[in-house]
């Protein structure tokens, strides 16, 4: 892997977004907080009315629970949508061909775009983690564990998002199905609510979901100081698999469908 290509892809995308700096700043700072703030209001009302807990969430820790959930939800959405969104724009602008016939490997493209997304997420990440740390400090080891899990979860979602990107180029009807996939996946990831609040019927699916495993392990590490290396291994395996699977499917779709619809 050539790191220079990864940086080249990231830099190009950042420069493109900086064409309209105002829009960039609004999307980087405010958009990620939209959903989280709604849940914050609901939980605040819930606990101020006398409720004690829902699963692991209590009146004392719900802000940290939500801050971490909000951050993970943003990482998920960026990872899932970003490459497809960028590829759609480049398809319409007719610039995508330049990237796809260059010697850049698909993994370099994924990581380059992922790096750009990381820079978008950074303000939100710094703010959320700083507030969470002030409210509930954690050890350096736990912090590193949390960061590793967040990074792996991001790569895992980027891999699946790359499959979506292939269909954005080759068949937008199939690509729209991925919106449904993302919605279902978010539902089964329990970013804003504990697993105990979900119907028992769907809990086995939630437990199998590596994004939920990452989410659960991150919250357990931050709120209870428990480092679960089983979950870390599970998420690591899923991330490696997703990245390779994403590249494999992309190449197949690209070869059979190419670019359609411009």
Partner 1 sequence: MIEAKNLTKVFNVRKEGRDIFEKLLNREKKTFKAVDDVSFEIYEGERIGLLGPNGAGKTTIIQMLCGLIQPTSGTVLIRGMAADRQQSLIGLMMGRRMIYHRLTGYNNLEYYARLYGVEDIDGRIGKLCNMLRIGGWLDEYVEYYSDGMKYKLAVARALVHDPEILILDEPTLGLDLATSEYLRGIIGRLRKTVLLTTHYVEEAKELSDRVVILSGGRVRRVISNPRRADIRRELLNGRS
Contact between 105 and partner 1 by CB under 8 A: the answer reads no
Q: Does 220 bind partner 1 (CB under 8 A)?
A: no
Helix residue spans in the chain (DSSP H): 3-17, 21-29, 34-48, 62-93, 96-100, 106-135, 140-170, 172-187, 203-208, 210-224, 229-257
97 binds partner 1 (CB under 8 A): yes
CA distance 12 to 18: 10
- In the complex with partner 1, the residue whose CB is nearer, 107 or 220, is 107
To the nearest whole angstrom, how small is the minimum distance from the Cβ of residue 175 to partner 1?
17
Please report the DSSP string for 199-236 in residue order.
-GGGHHHHHH-HHHHHHHHHHHHHHH----HHHHHHHH
Tell whether residue 22 is a contact of partner 1 (CB under 8 A): no
How many alpha carbons lie under 13 Å from residue 69 in its C-beta half-sphere?
26
Out of 45, 98, 225, 261, which residue is the one contacting partner 1 (CB under 8 A)? 98
Partnered with residue 191 across adjacent β-strands are none
- Sole binder of partner 1 in the list 93, 183, 205, 229 (CB under 8 A): 93
Q: How far is CA 167 from the centre of its chain?
A: 19
| Shortest Å distance, C-beta 247 to partner 1 | 15
By the rule CB under 8 A, 256 interacts with partner 1? yes
Q: Is 1 in the site for partner 1 (CB under 8 A)?
A: no
- Residues contributing to the site for partner 1 (CB under 8 A): 2, 4-5, 7-9, 11-12, 15-16, 19, 93-95, 97-104, 255-256, 258-259
């Amino acid at each position: 892997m050539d790191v220079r290509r990864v940086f080249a892809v990231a830099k190009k995308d950042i420069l493109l977004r900086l064409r309209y700096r105002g829009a960039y700043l609004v999307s980087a700072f405010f958009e990620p907080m939209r959903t989280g703030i709604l849940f914050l209001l609901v939980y605040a009302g819930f606990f101020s009315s006398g409720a004690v807990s829902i699963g692991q969430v209590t009146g004392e820790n719900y802000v940290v629970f939500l801050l971490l959930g909000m951050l993970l939800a943003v990482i998920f959405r960026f990872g899932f949508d970003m490459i497809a969104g960028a590829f759609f724009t480049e398809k319409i602008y007719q610039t995508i061909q330049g990237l796809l016939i260059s010697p850049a490997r698909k993994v370099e493209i994924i990581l380059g775009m992922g790096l750009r997304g990381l820079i978008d997420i950074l303000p939100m990440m710094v703010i959320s983690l700083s507030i969470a740390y002030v409210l509930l400090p954690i050890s350096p080891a736990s912090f590193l564990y949390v960061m590793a899990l967040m990074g792996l979860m991001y790569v895992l979602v980027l891999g699946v998002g790359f499959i979506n990107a292939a269909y954005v180029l080759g068949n937008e009807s199939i690509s729209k199905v991925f919106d449904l996939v993302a919605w279902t996946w978010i539902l089964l990831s329990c970013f804003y609510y504990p697993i105990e609040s979900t119907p028992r019927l769907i809990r086995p699916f939630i437990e199998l979901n590596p994004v939920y495993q990452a989410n659960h392990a991150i919250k357990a590490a931050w709120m209870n100081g428990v480092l679960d290396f089983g979950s870390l291994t599970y998420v690591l395996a899923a991330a490696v698999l997703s990245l390779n699977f994403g590249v494999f499917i992309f190449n197949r779709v690209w070869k059979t469908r190419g670019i359609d619809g411009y």
